[in-house]
Structure 1
């Protein structure tokens, strides 16, 4: 009772002329009477086109003239995204099925004109005018009058009207991309390169490869960079501080270690330590205190008590 018997399909298969293949697809072909499109097997069975490109090609071929077939219009119709649809259109364009050209209209607008060829290479690719369809003649089949389906007309290829060439634009002078390079700052030098500074600087530079494998310097590089390290030591920078400044955040890969150390010794040079007097708080200017006038009791500034300016003037006039 639970087994379904497809009697209609069995009767339909029995009516197929010729032997039925034991495996693979079996075609049950029913003639179309309306809404059909003739598609060549060179497109439907193309060996190099993807399945998405074949499907979009069949869909475009079934559309009427003037229908939008851009990437956004197809992406709004099908679940495939714009990226896959764009790749499929480029496949059709590479194999001659699709041709897209930029055309300037009479009003100056630039539009994309799309031409789809159902047989690539059969006719020259030019924009086609919309074909006119004649009414389908009626064919009598038995007692019922059934209209014969009209064949899909081939696109009529007409030459595209050539527009007048646009006037050439004057050449635009672009600014040069090669800006003048700034001169390289010289490596800092100490005021006096003593023997102790030279030995300490050489030992610090030669020891850098223990802390960073990429900082392997030659003897010539060490001799060249010694004055820069000596300038740091002269400014009371400790060896640990210099080592951290030279080995932190190294680029990968490190192609020119001596050039990198020269840049850091020059660009990161600390200023000299300030002296004790430089760190002393600024001295405030002396402030003259207020006094109360012994005559009018007004306040006035003076180091000694007494009378204000007005009272002193009155006393001088009276005297």
Structure 2
């Protein structure tokens, strides 16, 4: 008795006259009067965009100009992570809805300028961007909003939208009796833009050419190979790779993948790595889910390759150079370092001149 259930929607659906579809969505359309955004079906039903990209595109289109739409801002607003949001922004950029360019500001600063286009297909066909400076604005008839379905209107008692009166710019129409004339500022404000060309049903939008990447991706590092692939190392490497599925059920490799990864494991064995160390490096912290086990093992064998073990002589401390012993000068009896007895540096000059 303490839980209240709102059955208004259930009663509304039950009272709809006429046949109701047995499955699928049933639309109850109530016209918006404030806080709404017009979104085209080319974005809401785009076949090449993911659902996250469509949602972010609709969210960006609903924001006012000047709003911050960086990856960190969107990640703080929505539960999706930065990686998923960055992928969605790249999808919108690839299909022409979003464009990000680098601009140089004063004092050498660099900023990213983001432009969102609600109809990239019209721009590619040479149409005029709505709202741009110089776009033609004519005093034509205000387009009537789409009326709600008859079934929903009859039940929800939504009033029919009144037909909008058409104004002709060439002549001045006399006001009808009983209607007050509209002020001049109202007539100037009611202006609509030219209808943009509608896309042909079934036609695909023109492909958007992406700019060339600024820097090529570095090539993938090759799989390490041992200096000498002996039969013993090949057998040990093949057995270790085939035995990985006992320790991690995700690491089920084919025979072709085992043969491809054998040189990498043999390179580890050549550098005196134990089988337990290799098994731990290949099976620790596996991603969930693991789609390509062979690629993961190839990456770990290449990126985590240990260096060769140092020799015994490499681990010994370096020896210091021998220091000459102290000697007593025969002339002034001053102490100086030398391997042989004799005179110091000061007494050596006079003795050399006398000789």
Indicate the TM-score class for this superposition, using the shorter chain for normalisation.
0.3 to 0.5
Q: Which has the higher contact order (CA 8 A, sep 6+)?
A: 2
User: Structure 2 length as normaliser, TM-score?
Assistant: 0.43
Larger radius of gyration: 1
User: Structure 1 length as normaliser, TM-score?
Assistant: 0.48
